[in-house]
Chains A and B, each alone.
Chain A
């Protein structure tokens, strides 16, 4: 079966296509799609596989997001400020940098008012798998190095902000 490689142009000309409704929609609509998809994937492939698939999709999205919407020539501090501004501008979430280890290039960031999870019922497990991949994609594209991103705090585990540990792989 032939595979279709994602291309930024697949997002289409939203302005032309939605001259009256525009480019914005409700967060609930986004979540409806994500959590129904998540449910189907879990039923189809099991939880572990579902999480992996969402991370891979997020990774692809983060890479393309970085390539198309961010200036990767900026120094680290300015780049992080730029990521923060972009995520705010697109109402994805409030990204904040907690820790930066410039020697190892490891980071801890938090995302409040997260598009994926803020306000979800507390369920006991982290749910921001797509975000993990998304953040990984941004960092890998910016640095050219492999990264592992792990969500350690999530709204769905009872926290008020999602926290991600970002580690560069050796």
Chain B
């Protein structure tokens, strides 16, 4: 038979166990003392079980509320797995704090899908961190370029409103920070005469064309003008749509001035070179070719005749009694005679022929692709031309002048060189002198 105390204890133990099965925290106030030691031991174990459960339950409730700092019960098998979970959560908390500080080397292990999700997030953060670092480096590079570039740099929107100017760019335009309060439009600073061209260039850029470097006149804030060489490129937004312009430009005012000066110098140099060339090949008094040019031309004609089987005539003439004329009327009139004769003869020979002052009052004419008969005819025409010249000096008529002519043909004197031809025509001319002057004589042919 059980005592009333034992019966009450058994009922109490039954209540505790039933409650535990239903998750009810039992009332464990005071373990009743009973006579039966076995029942007493059993009651003690059930009460201990109840306390372990209660401790564990209280601990888990705190964990469920997110209190990770709660102290877990020790030597409590019910609580052990939850303490392990608490350790996991605390560690995750620390890891996330470390990740937030930038340590993307953290990895979560042994938590299944949760580990994979967190690790994927950490990797994504790591990639973002790399991109952020690269972006920071790029931004620093960008700022450095904008701060140190000697060329002006600007980023504008597509309407030309300046969004980001470089220091040197602001200096070129004489702008300061205050000017940007109301906005700066680049087109307002382009010379009115160049604005249309600038807009056309922008339109071409927007169509995907290349504009290369362009030169514009640009107006500074104070209204002064400078020459500007610029190059523009279209910047796009994240969707690849054009949204800004990047413009690099430099002040080329000095270069323009230098180019202008250089152009003037070049023209002057060209003129001087032409003059020098003329002086080297022309006779300063008469304006016809000089002796040196004759020598060169004679060699060319001879080579051409040999190479192509051609021929040419050499006509030499000397103004008759020129010394007396000079003595009587003076050198100025003598010069007038020389110039007049050259002028007349020069007008009556073909463009392919050449008139040369050989020395003093002696002249040579080279008649290209001309036979001896034709040469003699030309010489006769020239003789008559000289004879018919009527020269005036200070409104006084000068006496008529005449000239003696010698003619030779290269085809009739094939064995002779240049010197030989000159000697032959010189001899013919002196024959004309000996024959009484004002006549034409030909050099004897080597074929006869």
Contact = CB atoms under 8 A, between A and B. Distances in A.
Contacts of A63: none
Nearest to B94: A97
Given A88-B109, A94-B110, A98-B90, A159 B84 contact: yes
B111 to A, nearest CB: 11
Interface in A105-142: 108, 110, 112, 124
18 contacts: A77-B98, A77-B106, A78-B103, A81-B105, A94-B110, A96-B87, A98-B90, A98-B91, A110-B87, A112-B87, A158-B76, A158-B80, A159-B83, A160-B81, A160-B83, A160-B84, A161-B83, A161-B87
Given A158-B77, A158-B80, A81 B91 contact: no
Given A81-B105, A158-B76, A163 B87 contact: yes
A129 B279 CA distance: 114
Contacts of A96: 87-88, 90-91
Contacts of B307: none
Given A81-B107, A159-B80, A153 B90 contact: no
Contacts of A56: none
B239 interface: no
Nearest to A75: B103
Of B72, B81, B94, B106, the most chain A CB neighbours within 10 A belong to B94
Interface in B65-97: 72, 74-77, 80-81, 83-84, 87-88, 90-91, 94-95
Interface in A79-104: 80-81, 85, 88, 94, 96-100
What class of interface size applies to chain A in its complex with B? 20 to 34
Contacts of B81: 160
Interface string A156-170: 011111010000000
Interface in A38-77: 75, 77
A99 B107 CA distance: 17
A1 B398 CA distance: 147
B415 interface: no
Contacts, number: 64
A64 B106 CA distance: 24
Contacts of A85: 107
Contacts of A157: 74-75
A79 B204 CA distance: 58
What class of interface size applies to chain B in its complex with A? 20 to 34
Given A85-B107, A153-B72, 16 more contacts: A78-B105, A81-B98, A81-B105, A88-B109, A96-B90, A98-B90, A108-B90, A110-B87, A112-B110, A157-B74, A158-B80, A159-B84, A160-B81, A160-B84, A161-B83, A163-B87
A8 to B, nearest CB: 26
Contacts of B98: 77, 80-81
Given A97-B94, A98-B94, A157-B74, A81 B103 contact: yes
Nearest to A111: B87
A88 B110 CA distance: 11
Given A112-B84, A153-B83, A161-B87, A77 B101 contact: yes
Contacts of A100: 94
B112 to A, nearest CB: 14
Nearest to B68: A98
A158 B55 CA distance: 15
A108 B83 CA distance: 13
Contacts of A99: 90, 94
Contact of B109 (A78, A94, A108): A94
Interface in B207-236: none
Contacts of B88: 96
Contacts of A161: 83-84, 87
Given A77-B101, A94-B109, A159-B83, A110 B76 contact: no
A124 B90 CA distance: 25
Of B84, B91, B101, B105, the most chain A CB neighbours within 10 A belong to B91
B106 A81 contact: yes
Contacts of A158: 75-77, 80
A47 B107 CA distance: 39
Contacts of B91: 96-98, 110
A154 to B, nearest CB: 10
